[in-house]
């Protein structure tokens, strides 16, 4: 699984330090208002995030499409594909120095934090009109563009969502149907676990703080809790947040996950266990398909359903709105050309082309997902994204939330793996520590 499971790097100090920077040559108005070079002969610089197996793979995918764009508009695009470990720091350096590209990809969970730097062009009414209007986007994905109530500084490019993968043969052999409630999932996982054969009910990326915070958020939502209150202040220790974290950690406490999974943190390990028959279920984003296929599992051998909520849950949230957004630097001298490029990249035709190699869901309404040949799987993920996904908190210090809560949950999972199941009181204390760290960081 690629790192489109967006890493939340601790960048708050850097972000705070860059606030208001990156606009050395711009009046601050959007291209739709201020204009700029838009015709043949313009050269745009584009920093693309790494979506494929390698940077070279991305270059091979993007190059012919950028050449197509140049043929249609006369606008040349100078491409640089950047790996996830380096992308955010490069973006932040650009916001500080003013020496950045015209257009850049960002992890959509970074959008509020990067918006706070003041370095990106707001997509106001004029700019949105230039790229086809906000209604062309899937509403859930569009909502990730920035802080609620403000003009977004990014728009969706590629979308992802979580689903529950299950091994069809293992379920059939056990006489089980895919679970529709969390209680059924727990029961199925226990029935499908046999440590003597190295087989477990659920695979888990137990050392990944990104996965841990994603599930803390999703299950907290199911329990009716938000990690931030209406004033944008952290509220990690509410009963719902504690119950949501316990829901996730209890998978390890109940011994339906291989304890060695606490070592998994890079992305492909848990899908690998699922693909190799060592686990009957996997909660993952749809880009896990690439890993499953690479490990020899056929799409016909697994099914996908929404991650179920507990009976009587406050909400049936099954995912957060994951994905990649695209932004324009406010100090770009080529805003009109950049808007044409954003419109091209988010066109239905290009979405259909990019979604296959990048295993992504379309961010455009009405476009049929084609990242898999399994029609049922594609429709399931599309429905999850459209109807059962909620954006991660749209607050400036979102990255701190991911890092501090994710690492706290990792420690609880590690405790559970030793045979000492964390209590609700211990979980609340761990979340309080995470909240205190955020407060100390200012």
Whether residue 239 is predicted with pLDDT greater than 50 in this model: the reply is yes
Note the pLDDT of residue 13.
40
Tokens standing for residue 298: 């056929």
3-state class percentages of the chain: helix first, strand second, coil last, to nearest 5: 45, 15, 40
Q: How many Å from the N-terminal Cα to the C-terminal Cα in the chain?
A: 34
User: Which residue spans within 207-332 are E strands per DSSP?
Assistant: 279-285, 302-305, 319-320, 322-328
Residue positions counted in the chain: 442
Give bridge partners of residue 20 from the DSSP assignment. Answer: none
Of residues 247 and 292, which shows the higher confidence score? Answer: 247
Averaged pLDDT, 217-244: 95
**184 in helix, strand or coil?**
helix
Q: What is the mean pLDDT of the chain?
A: 88
Note the pLDDT of residue 442.
65
| CA–CA separation, 256 and 351 (whole Å) | 38
Whether residue 245 is predicted with pLDDT greater than 70 in this model: the reply is yes
- pLDDT digit string (tens) for 100-110? 999 999 989 88
Whether residue 207 is predicted with pLDDT greater than 80 in this model: the reply is yes
- pLDDT digit string (tens) for 154-188? 999 999 999 999 999 999 999 999 999 999 999 99
Phi, then psi, of 284 in degrees rounded to 5: -155, 165
Whether residue 12 is predicted with pLDDT greater than 60 in this model: the reply is no
Give bridge partners of residue 202 from the DSSP assignment. Answer: 257, 281
Note the pLDDT of residue 30.
37
Which residues are CB-contacts of 230 (< 8 A; sequence separation ≥ 6)? Answer: none
Give bridge partners of residue 328 from the DSSP assignment. Answer: 103
Whether residue 22 is predicted with pLDDT greater than 50 in this model: the reply is no
| CA–CA separation, 365 and 386 (whole Å) | 9
Domains and CATH numbers, the chain: 43-160+321-390 (3.40.190.10), 162-319+394-440 (3.40.190.10)
**68 in helix, strand or coil?**
helix
Whether residue 23 is predicted with pLDDT greater than 70 in this model: the reply is no
Whether residue 9 is predicted with pLDDT greater than 50 in this model: the reply is no
Under a CB-based contact definition with an 8 Å cutoff, are residues 51 and 19 in contact? no
Report the percent of the chain where pLDDT is more than 90: 69
Note the pLDDT of residue 39.
63
Of residues 124 and 14, which shows the higher confidence score? Answer: 124
Note the pLDDT of residue 14.
40
| CA–CA separation, 158 and 233 (whole Å) | 30
- pLDDT digit string (tens) for 41-90? 899 999 999 887 678 989 999 999 999 999 999 999 999 999 877 888 89
- pLDDT digit string (tens) for 254-293? 999 999 999 987 667 899 999 999 999 999 999 888 788 8
Report the percent of the chain where pLDDT is more than 70: 90
- pLDDT band for 18, please (50, 70, 90 cuts): very low
Note the pLDDT of residue 44.
97
Of residues 4 and 282, which shows the higher confidence score? Answer: 282
Whether residue 20 is predicted with pLDDT greater than 60 in this model: the reply is no
Whether residue 226 is predicted with pLDDT greater than 50 in this model: the reply is yes
- pLDDT digit string (tens) for 398-440? 878 988 999 999 999 999 999 999 999 999 999 999 999 988 8
Tokens standing for residue 251: 């998978």
- pLDDT digit string (tens) for 294-334? 889 999 999 999 999 999 999 999 999 989 999 999 999 99
């Amino acid at each position: 699984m690629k790192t489109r499971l967006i890493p939340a790097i601790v960048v708050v100090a850097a972000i705070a330090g860059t606030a208001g920077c990156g606009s050395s040559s711009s009046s601050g108005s959007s291209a739709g208002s201020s204009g700029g070079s838009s015709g043949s002969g313009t050269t745009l610089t584009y920093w693309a995030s790494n979506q494929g197996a390698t940077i070279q793979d991305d270059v091979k995918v993007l190059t012919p499409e950028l050449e197509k764009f140049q043929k249609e508009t006369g606008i040349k695009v100078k491409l640089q594909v950047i790996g996830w470990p380096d992308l955010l720091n490069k973006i932040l350096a650009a916001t500080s120095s003013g020496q950045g590209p015209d257009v850049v990809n960002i992890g959509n969970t970074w959008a509020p934090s990067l918006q706070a730097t003041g370095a990106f062009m707001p997509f106001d009414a004029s700019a949105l009109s230039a790229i086809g209007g906000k209604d062309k986007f899937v509403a859930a994905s569009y909502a990730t563009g920035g802080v609620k109530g403000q003009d977004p500084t990014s728009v969706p490019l590629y979308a992802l969502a979580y689903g529950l993968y299950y091994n069809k043969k293992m379920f059939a052999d056990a006489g089980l149907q895919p679970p529709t409630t969390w209680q059924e999932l727990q029961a199925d996982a226990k029935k499908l676990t046999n440590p003597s054969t190295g087989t477990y009910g659920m695979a888990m990326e137990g050392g990944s703080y990104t996965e841990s915070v994603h599930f803390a958020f999703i299950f907290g939502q199911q329990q009716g809790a938000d990690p931030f209150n209406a004033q944008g202040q952290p509220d990690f220790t509410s009963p719902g947040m504690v119950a949501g974290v316990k829901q996730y950690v209890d998978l390890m406490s109940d011994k339906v996950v291989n304890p060695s999974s606490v070592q998994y943190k890079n992305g492909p390990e848990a899908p690998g266990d699922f693909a190799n028959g060592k686990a009957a279920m996997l909660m993952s984003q749809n880009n896990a398909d690439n890993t499953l296929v690479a490990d020899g599992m056929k799409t016909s051998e697994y099914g996908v359903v929404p991650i179920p909520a507990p009976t009587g849950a406050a909400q049936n949230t099954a995912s957060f709105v994951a994905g990649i957004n695209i932004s324009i630097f406010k100090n770009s001298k080529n805003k009109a050309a950049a808007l044409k490029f954003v419109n091209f990249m988010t066109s239905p035709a290009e979405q259909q082309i990019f979604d296959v190699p990048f295993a992504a869901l379309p961010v455009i309404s009405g476009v049929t997902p084609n990242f898999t040949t399994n029609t049922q799987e594609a429709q399931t993920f599309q429905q999850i994204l459209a109807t059962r996904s909620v954006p991660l908190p749209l607050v400036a210090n979102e990255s701190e939330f991911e890092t501090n809560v994710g690492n706290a949950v990792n420690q609880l999972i590690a405790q559970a793996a030793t045979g000492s199941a964390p209590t609700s009181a211990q979980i609340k204390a761990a979340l309080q520590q995470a909240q205190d760290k955020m407060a100390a960081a200012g």
